[in-house]
Amino acid sequence: MIESCIHVANIFYLVSFVTRDMLWLRILTCCGLVLGLAFFSCQAAPMYGPTLWHLVFLLINLVQLRRLVQERRRLNLSKERERLAEAAFQDLSRDEMLNLLTRAMCAQAEGLPDLRQAAQQPLSEDQQVVRDIAFRGLSRKDLVNLLTRRLWRSLRWVNPTRWRFRRAASSAATSGGPPQPIGVPSR
């Protein structure tokens, strides 16, 4: 049983090497270190050197893990901002959100045209490089968080229901019926 601890620990290390999220890297590393501690300290002749080093690395990773969790809590949006952001960005695809975030970071956020239009316009070559290097690996939640923080002044004045109405109006125009806001049942 103890012999398998070192193998499972190394599997945790291998998985941690391929993860991109620092929080998960630290968690997986801590799991591997705990199993390494068990392996080195439960031998017939305990190996105190590796046990001590694993303990030191575990403590360092636990401190860093605590800092990461605190930082992520601090970066969470307020309930009001989260609700507004979800309403404002719910209809945008991941690529449109990436484009909008890239545009917002490369230009003055206040100088952006209509947010929907800014999200759908193609990016310049330099902006594509920024998008691919800086933002491609972000989750949708992280994209919404960054967009909300960068575009908060613009978002306060944007009425997300206007986007839904505009989209419904354009689809109604092609079908010949009256425009209906999304979520409102037709009669």
In contact, 87 and 126? CB cutoff 8 Å: no
Same domain, 55 and 69: yes
Same domain, 94 and 151: yes
Tell me the CA distances in angstroms from 72 to 17, 69, 76, one per residue in order.
21, 5, 6
In contact, 86 and 144? CB cutoff 8 Å: yes
Q: Which domain holds residue 105?
A: 79-175
Judge whether 53 lies within some domain: yes
In contact, 147 and 119? CB cutoff 8 Å: no
Q: Among 110, 116, 118, 103, which residue's Cα sits nearest to residue 165?
A: 116
Judge whether 182 lies within some domain: no
Residue that terminates a domain, selected from 43, 58, 75? 75
Give the residue, 185 or 114, on which the prediction is more confident: 114
User: For residue 125, which amino acid is it?
Assistant: E
Same domain, 62 and 91: no
Locate the DSSP E strands across 28-130.
none
Judge whether 168 lies within some domain: yes
CA dihedral 104, 108, 113, 118 (to 10 degrees): -20
What is d(CA 169, CA 29) in angstroms, rounded to the nearest whole number? 53
Show Cβ contacts of residue 123 under 8 Å, excluding neighbours closer than 6 positions.
99, 102, 103, 131
Same domain, 67 and 105: no
Same domain, 170 and 83: yes
What is d(CA 102, CA 111) in angstroms, rounded to the nearest whole number? 14
- φ, ψ (nearest 5 deg) of residue 138: -80, 145
Can you read off the two tokens belonging to residue 126?
Answer: 């330099």
Would you say how long the chain is, in residues?
187
Give how many domains the chain has, as a whole number: 2
Same domain, 162 and 105: yes
Same domain, 6 and 50: yes
Judge whether 44 lies within some domain: yes
Same domain, 63 and 148: no
Judge whether 42 lies within some domain: yes
Residue that terminates a domain, selected from 75, 100, 119? 75
Judge whether 186 lies within some domain: no
Query: What is the model's pTM?
Result: 0.55
What is d(CA 31, CA 107) in angstroms, rounded to the nearest whole number? 43
Q: For residue range 12-57, what is the model confidence (pLDDT) as tens digits? A: 999 999 998 899 999 999 999 999 999 999 999 999 999 999 999 9
DSSP state string for 135-185: ITT--HHHHHHHHHHHTHHHHHH--HHHHHHHHHHHHHHHHTSPP--TTSP
Q: For residue range 51-108, what is the model confidence (pLDDT) as tens digits? A: 999 999 999 999 999 999 998 888 777 888 888 877 877 888 878 888 888 877 776 5
